[in-house]
Every structure is written in C-alpha cells, then in structure tokens.
Structure 1
Amino acid sequence: MPTFRWEEIQKHSLRTDQWLVIDRKVYNITEWSHRHPGGHRVIGHYAGEDATDVFLAFHRNLDFVRKFMKPLLIGELAPEEPSQDHSKNSQITEDFRALRKTAEDMNLFKSNHLFFLLYLAHIIVMESIAWFTIFYFGNGWIPTVITAFILATSQAQAGWLQHDYGHLSVYKKSTWNHIAHKFMIGHLKGASANWWNHRHFQHHAKPNIFHKDPDVNMLHVFVLGKWQPIEDLAWAISYYARFFITYIPFYGVLGAIIFLNFIRFLESHWFVWVTQMNHIVMEIDQEPYRDWFSSQLAATCNVEQSFFNDWFSGHLNFQIEHHLFPTMPRHNLHKVAPLVRSLCAKHGIEYQQKPLLQALQDIIRSLRQSGQLWLDAYLHK
C-alpha cells in the first residue's frame, strides 16, 4: 500500500482535491464528499487533516460506515510520520481516546428509552394544557398570554428533543434516529431536518472557527448539502396545519398567525440565550489546528447542574461533554463530566463552568463589547 507524508496530505485540502486520514489510513474523499449524508462541507472541513476523533464522535455504527470507506482508501501514513497532523498534542489525543473507551465500557453511550418517552410525553401534555386553557377560559388576553407561554415552553423542549435525535443519541440504529428526527423537527417544529444537519454538524466539527462554523459567520448562506425540498415542505405543512386547525376556531386566520408569531418570538429568544450562553465569551478565531479535545474545550463552557438548569437547557448546560461526545445520550453527560475534568486538570486545560445567571450576563457583556467595537469602527476611532 502506498505511504504518504503529512506534507503531501496537507496539499490536498482544496474543495476539488480532498484527502483525509482516519486511523493512519489515507482516504481520497473528493468525489465521495458530495454524497456524504452529512453534507460535503462538514467532511471537507477536515481535508488534509487527521479526522479520526471527529469520525468516532459523529458515527454510531462504525462497521457500517467503514464499508463505504473501503473504495476511498488510497494508502497510509509513512511509518516514521506521527499520527497527528500540524504537530497536534499526541499525548492529549491518546488520553482522550482512553477516556472515550472508558465511557464505552461504562455503557454511557447506551440510551434510556424511558427517559426520552417521558420527555416526549411532557411536551404532549403541555400542548394539551394549552388547548384546554383556550377552550375552557376563552380567547381573552390572560388565557391567550398564558397559552402562548405554555406553547413556547413546549416548542423549546421539542427543540431540545429533536436535537437528541439529530445527534443519533436515542436509538442504536441511525435509521431510526433519522426517522424520529424528521418527525420531531418537522411536525413539532416546522423546520427542515436536512437544513439542521447541514449546519449543526459543521458547528460541532469546527466550533467557533471562521468560515467553517456557520454559527459564527457574519453571513449565513443556506446552501444545503442534501436538501429534499418536497419532504421538508410536507413536514412544514403538517406543522402549520396542525397549529392553525387547532387555533383558527378561537382566533380566526389573522389572529392565529399573530398568535403563532408571538409564540415563535418567545421560543426563539429562549433558544438563542441557551445556545449562546455555552459559547460566549469563548475563543473565536481562524483555524488553530488543535487536537479534538483541546479544540472543543476552547469553544465551549458549562453551566452548573441543577434540575432546572438541565430542563431549561435540554442538558446543554453540559456543553463541553456534549461537544466531545455528540452521540452520548444527554442523561449520561453528567456521568462522564468528572472524567473530562480530570483530563483537563492533567494537561492544564481550563474547564469552564458557570452559574446560570453569570452565563446569561456574559451574553449581555459580549453584546455590549461587540456594539462598542462596531461604534468605534463607525466613528473611525
């Protein structure tokens, strides 16, 4: 089998010429990237690099995925070459893979199906309470506002639940996760599963990296790696039909539209504050070429654990552990957290954890700082 040096592999990092390394094997993904189920961008972000850890992080059924990799194999690293590219820390990588093996031995990647069933049930209960409130008390201002807050809460919680299925963390078979994800995000949220996958996996692959993480780009370009518009449109129609059929009798067409937009306004603010409190204020930069463990720690922080914080954020208060192990069921993230903290202490890596109020205040401080920078630039200071 041909052997390659990193100097040669790193030359193949263009969109039209892409190689990557997994377990010291070299793969040419130039053509395959356009058929990659996760989209061509997320796999292309690791062109010219070692992608072993991100490969392990994103895929549940490794034996199945490796069948598709065989035709792409073109060689392996030369024996004298290190396993890590760009002089990444090999000791941290070795320790992290040992940590992952420990988590697997502890069955932390095994899902508790009752947990997710009860979680779905509490969303359905909130939807039912919302309808009953309007049906019983009428469409006055007070029942309407109460119902809007209940529905915004159910929408936020549905958002966290679709996130679980999107990360393949509920069922052992990826297919079942994909089917459930399409239903959750489509029927309960009215959004596109394909759009979510395309953007969110890029964020996890290269968090807070300009031009690779869509969440930090100034301009969001909605170009999908594998968009199925008819299917996505069907799910959106099912969502809006369900909502309008339920509430048009109480508010009329225009009233139902205004009511839905008010609910969306409340839920979107909830979503933004939760997702940003775990990434702000964190390092945002060009490609620093760190190992997987260090790169995720540099871009995420945790919020202290409590029953409310877990529920309020959909367990995204364990953002560090979620980024390190995207397919781990959320109810097990707190179990792996002590192991992650121990590894951080061993290598002198900061493990940031904040109270909820401080995390929310950091967002305000970050917005104020950003606003001041833009003002200074506008005034040419």
Structure 2
Amino acid sequence: MEFEEKPEGNGSLVDENQLDLGAKHQPNRKPGASGKAKLSARQQANAKCDLPRKSLNRYTWQEIQRHNLKTDQWLVINRKVYDVTGWADRHPGGRQVLKHYAGEDATDVFRAMHPDPDIVRLYLKPLLIGELAPEEPNQERNKNSRLVEDFQELRRTLETLNMFNANLGFFFLHLAQILILEALAWVIVWHFGSGWLITIFISFLLMVAQAQGLFLQHDMGHLSIFKKSKWNLLMQKFVMGHLKGLSSKWWNHRHSLHHVKTNIYPKDPDIDTGPLFVLGDLQPVEYGKNRIKFFDYEKQHLIFCLGDLTFKHFFLQDIAWAISFYIRYFITFGPFCGIFGTMMLIYLVKFLESPWIAYVTQMSHIPMKISKEEKRDWFSSQVLATCNAEHSFFNDWFTGHLNFQIEHHLFPTMPRHNYHKVAPLVKSLCAKHGLPYVNKPMLKAFGDILRALKKYGALWKEAYCTHPEI
C-alpha cells in the first residue's frame, strides 16, 4: 500500500480518540491505553506495509462499479481496492460519505479529507481486498486522466511549499477577536445600562462575534490545528457549543457530506432544502411536475433574506456545551436585562447574524452548477460547483475567507490564511484544461443568489402550470 509520506502540520480529521474506538472492532488488536501504545501501533503498521505481500486479487473497473450498494461497498484508493461495507457504520466521517463513493475511485477525496496517512493506514489495512488489474487506468474511463494527474501534481507542489501547515497565531488572534467583542458588549451594558439603543449596539457586537465564531468553528472542523487531536475536538465543542450554542458533531457530519458531493442533488444536504427552497434546474421541475407546493416558490427569492433557517440537530454529548452558551448569556446579561430581556437579546443576535451567514455560505454554491450524480473527477466537480468572491482585507474578514470557496473545496484541510497564495496556481490549472474559474465582486455574488433563486422559482412555476392537477 503506497502513501505519500510527506507529513502535514495540521494533523488529521480522524482524531486519536476515534482511532481507539475503531481499534476495538478489529480482530486481534488491543487499542493502546497511552500515547506510547498508539505510536507503537503506527510503527507496526508502517513496518508491516514494507514487508513482502502475497499477491492480491485483481479487478476491473466494471467489476468494482457493481459494488455500490448500501450492503456492498468497495472503494479504490491509489489503485488499491477496499471493501468498506462493514466499516461504514464506524467511519468517523459518517456512513453516508463512504456510500456516496461506493464503486468509484476515491483517491483524491480521500487525500483531501485525510491529511495524515499514518493514522488512516490503521483503518485501511484490514479492508484491503485487491488492486486494479494492470491494464486498467488509474481512474474510471469517463474521467480526464490528464486533469487528475495534473491536480495530484499540484497538490504535491503545495505540500512541498508547506501550504497545509497552520499558523497557530492566526487562529488564536481570531479567537481573541471573538472574546474581546463579547467582553466589550458586557462592559458597555454594565456601564451604560440596558436601554434600547445600547441593546441594539451590543447586539451588533455580539452578532459579529457569533458570525466570526462560526468561521472559527469551520476551521476547527477541517483542521487539526493542535498536535494532539483531543485538544482540537475540545476547541470545536468550545467554539460551536459554548460560543455558538450549536452541535459541533451535527455540523461536522453535515459539512462532510457537503464537501464530498458538492451541489449534487440530493446527496449534498446544503442544496436539498425542500420544502423551504427548490434549487437547481432539476428539483424545481420535479416539484412542479409532482404538484408539490408548500408555498409559491416563484417568490422564494424574496424570503431568502430571512437567512439561514436550517433546522439544527443536537447530539447528547453536545447538549451540555449548548446549555453552557445560554447559561453564559444569562450570567453575563441577566442582571442588566432580566430573563425576558436576555432571551430577546439572544434571538435578536441570531436574527441579525442569520442573513450574514446565509449570504456568505450560499453565494458560492446556489448560483453554480447543481446536478444529479455525474461521477466527475474531484477537481472538475469542485470547480464547477463553487465560485470565489474577490480578495480584499474586508472581504476576507467578512466571509472568514470563504470568499475562496474554490480553493477551500479543493483542499478542505488547508488553513484559510493560505488560500490567496494558492489561488493563482488553481486558476492556471483551470485555464489549462478549459474549466471556468469564477471570481466575482462580493456584491454581485450576493445578488446572484437572488437571481438564481428567482430563476429556479420560474422553472417550478412553469412545470407546475404545465402539469395541471387531474
């Protein structure tokens, strides 16, 4: 089994605690009780991979593509074939992520989401069942092999340039910004009281802190910023639960699905928004033909300004962190605003923050290509489904660097302070292969959301009216 051995400073999305849980399910393997034992397990795996291996079964792409069912899932990574059927329910990224790539080459998405091969190797070794036959290409025959090779070469170049190494100072300054804004809001209400003007002003400060907190959680969900992953997980729960009042586990699982199948309906949960919105060229027609009308979707662009209305799920282990968010608000502002006033403050902050987050997160996806599964290569699928907003100090801060969605989707584990450095290389690769590299002014990107929603609503209306109820 061959892996690139170049280490990356940002660690892995698979944390060490999850590694121990996975080890319990492996035959004849005892999970280490200490960091020393875990290191020994890695060393043993590395040593075993260097030993001569008995010949593996060889498969064609036609054979592999048949194993794409919930009860029968094979993946190809670096020409090696893995049966992940039994492992799917224990996959730290969620079982759906594996199901979406069953019967396909997953080399690039695997590399994008797992930056530390040493850890993931412990999972992969027992799942190996064979390899591609020598006459088979590296990818499925419908993919542009030259583009895939060029993208993999680009990634190796970026690794050599240390573009995946995180600057801890950058993220600590970001966290300090959030804490200072919240402290400033408390000082103002303590000094000036809780009048309406003061409440509106501190709501603005807290809104900025909440939005920037979500951007920081976005970083924590993708990066193992700390060398010990347990600290990264703790920071995720602190930022998402304590500072935001939401579930980090829910966010991570949902966001992983969004990244691996961006703008693929209905696999990407971020665009499967019915009955609230109908998106793309297919879903509106489907709703119209089936006479589905929860409201007049022709007007959906008018209600988008209400913001992010997605239902938030919570997991039991995140409830305590979410409760601590509300406790903190009541302790901080309760003595000045009272119970009712504090609840109103919380919901005012959420109401103000919601459109900000909705526009920032959707400007790069809703106006772009939305389709059913086409099994494109990783580079093409991400470039066609995302776009950028122009680079500037304000745009970078206001969007949490999510104005670089193309680079972020191609390299999810890259720290965001490096996006602007790699953007010219990505743009050059797009030009070489005739792919669009869409980069817009931010206000135009915001406007394109509403224009796209209006277009999709018109498609629904046409299909609805041309299929009258019988």
Which TM-score tier does this pair reach, normalised by the shorter chain?
over 0.9
- What is aligned with 1:202? 257
Q: Which residue of 1 aligns with 2:93?
A: 38
Q: Give, in angstroms, the shift of residue 197 of structure 1.
A: 1.1
- Deviations along 1:253-298, whole A, 9 cap, x unmatched? 1221121111101111111000011113100001111110000001
CA gap 1:56/1:14 in 2 versus in 1, 3 angstroms: same
Give the match's secondary structure for 1:11.
coil
1:322–1:333 Cα contact (<8 Å) kept: yes
Q: What is the alpha-carbon distance in structure 2 between the residues aligned to residue 346 and residue 81 of structure 1?
A: 26
2:404 — aligned with what? 318
- 1:247 is aligned with what amino acid? F
User: 2:181: which partner in 1?
Assistant: 126
Tell whether the 8 Å contact from 2:75 to 2:83 is kept in structure 1 after alignment.
yes
Aligned to 2:450: 364
Give SS of 1:216's match.
coil
Aligned residue for 2:404, secondary structure, equals helix
Identify which of 152, 155, 161 aligns with 1:100.
Answer: 155
* 2:194 corresponding residue in structure 1: 139
Displacement of 1:380 in angstroms is 4.0
Question: Does the aligned pair in 2 maintain the 1:127–1:154 contact within 8 Å?
Answer: yes
Deviates more, 1:172-181 or 1:115-124: 172-181
Q: Residues 209-245 of structure 1, C-alpha deviation per residue, up to 9 Å, x if partnerless?
A: 0121111113499898xx8x33111111111111122
Match of residue 420, structure 2, among 334, 345, 355: 334
Match of 2:164 among 101, 109, 126: 109
Q: Distance in 2 between matches of 1:305 and 1:352?
A: 13
Please, which of 135, 143, 146 is the counterpart of residue 80 of structure 1? 135
Checking the alignment, whether the CA contact within 8 Å between 1:300 and 1:320 is kept in structure 2 is: yes
- 1:291 corresponds, among 377, 386, 394, to 377
Q: Is 2:356 the partner of 1:301?
A: no
Residues 273 and 222 (structure 1), Cα distance of their counterparts in 2 relative to 1, 3 Å cut: closer
**1:54 lines up with 2:140 in the alignment:** no
**TM-score w.r.t. structure 1 length?**
0.95
2:206 matched to which residue of 1? 151
Higher share in helix: 1
Q: State how 1:208-287 maps to structure 2 within 5 Å.
A: 208-219=263-274, 229-287=315-373
Alpha-carbon shift at residue 371 of structure 1 (Å): 2.9
C-alpha displacement at 1:372, in angstroms? 2.8
Deviation at 1:36, TM superposition (A): 0.4
Question: Which moved further from structure 2: 235-244 or 367-376?
Answer: 367-376
Once the 2 structures are TM-superposed, how far is the Cα of residue 141 of structure 1 from its aligned partner? 1.0
Of stretches 9-18 and 164-173 in structure 1, the one that deviates more from structure 2 is 164-173
AA at the equivalent of 1:310? D
Letter in 2 for 1:303: A
Residue equivalent to 1:189 = 244
Deviation at 1:67, TM superposition (A): 1.1
Q: Any conservation in 2 of the 1:34–1:40 contact (CA below 8 Å)?
A: yes
The letter of the residue matching 2:459 is: L
Aligned to 1:167: 222
Cα separation, 1, equivalents of 2:273 and 2:367: 17
- Structure-1 residue corresponding to 2:235: 180
Which ranges of structure 1 fall in alignment gaps of 5 or more residues?
none
Quote the Cα distance in structure 1 between the aligned partners of 2:273 and 2:176: 38
Q: Distance in 2 between matches of 1:53 and 1:304?
A: 27
Distance 1:160 1:340 in 2: 23
| 1:147-204 CA-partner distances (Å, limit 9, x unpaired) | 1111010000000001001001523454432222122111111111111111001100
Tell me how far 1:367 sits from its aligned partner: 2.2
1:314–1:145 Cα change, 3 Å = same
CA contact (8 A) 1:86 1:289 kept: no
**8 A contact 1:111–1:171 mirrored in 2:** no
Structure 1 distance, partners of 2:312, 2:347, is: 25
> TM-score if structure 2 supplies the norm length?
0.78
Question: Equivalent pairs: percent with the same residue?
Answer: 58
- Is the 1:133–1:147 Cα contact (8 Å) retained in structure 2? yes
Quote the Cα distance in structure 2 between the aligned partners of 1:222 and 1:13.
30
Structure 1 letter corresponding to 2:403: N
| Amino acid of the structure 2 residue aligned with 1:113 | L
**How many residues in Structure 1 have an aligned counterpart in Structure 2?**
378
User: Structure 1 residues 38-47 or 166-175, which shifts more?
Assistant: 166-175
- In structure 2, what is the Cα distance between the partners aligned to 1:175 and 1:76? 35
Tell me, in whole angstroms, the C-alpha distance in 2 between the residues paired with 1:306 and 1:169.
Answer: 27
The aligned amino acid for 2:194 is: N
What's the CA shift for 1:377?
4.1
Matches within 5 A, 1:367-378: 367-378=453-464
Find the aligned partners of 2:205 and 2:312 in 1 and give their Cα distance.
34
Query: 1:86 Cα deviation (Å)?
Result: 4.7
Alignment partners' CA distance in 1, 2:464 and 2:177 = 49
After the TM superposition, which of the residue ranges 252-261 and 310-319 deviates more from structure 2? 252-261
Structure 1, 58-67 or 171-180: larger mean CA deviation: 171-180
1:379, distance to aligned residue in structure 2 (A): 4.0
Q: Please report how far the alpha carbon of residue 16 of structure 1 lies from its aligned counterpart in structure 2 after TM superposition.
A: 1.1
Q: Does the 8 A contact of 1:20 with 1:50 survive in 2?
A: yes
Measure the CA separation in 2 of the matches of 1:222 and 1:153: 22
Secondary structure of residue in 1 paired with 2:74: strand
SS at match of 1:21: strand
- 1: CA distance, partners of 2:341 / 2:238: 27
Cα distance in 1, alignment partners of residues 187 and 229 from structure 2: 37
Deviates more, 1:82-91 or 1:199-208: 82-91
Asked if the contact 1:168–1:178 (Cα under 8 Å) also holds between the matched residues in 2, the reply is no
Q: CA deviation digits over 1:299-356, x for unaligned, max 9?
A: 0000000000000000000100000000000001111111101111111111000001
Q: List aligned pairs for 1:8-19, cutoff 5 A.
A: 8-19=63-74
Contact preservation (8 Å) 1:61, 1:173: no
Which piece of structure 1 moves more, 53-62 or 149-158? 53-62
